[in-house]
Amino acid sequence: MDEASLLWGFLFGTIGIAMAVYGRKHKKVVPMACGVMLVVFPYVVTEVYALVGIGVLLLLIPFFIRR
């Protein structure tokens, strides 16, 4: 693991925790699920470009799916 993947993983994990708490507090499934996935996926994905791509995709999903 290099520094870039650690920093991106930390950034996406921090945003994921905030999204999961928001989704739980407002009883919204999509932000909560995306938040949990943002916390977990940096442990699985090691390539930096894939990490950024998946992270941005997970960040944008709640804006397009409003439930």
Report the pLDDT value the prediction gives residue 46, as an integer from 0 to 100: 86
For the segment 21-66, what is each residue's pLDDT rounded down to a tens digit? 999 999 999 999 999 999 999 999 989 999 999 999 999 999 998 7
Question: Other CB atoms closer than 10 Å to residue 54's CB: what's the count?
Answer: 18
What is the pLDDT, as a whole number, of residue 2?
A: 85
pLDDT value for 30: 94
Residue 1 is predicted with a pLDDT of: 65
pLDDT at 29: 94
- Domain borders along the chain are 3-64
**Entry pTM:** 0.88
Closest to 32 in 3D by CA, of 43, 45, 16: 16
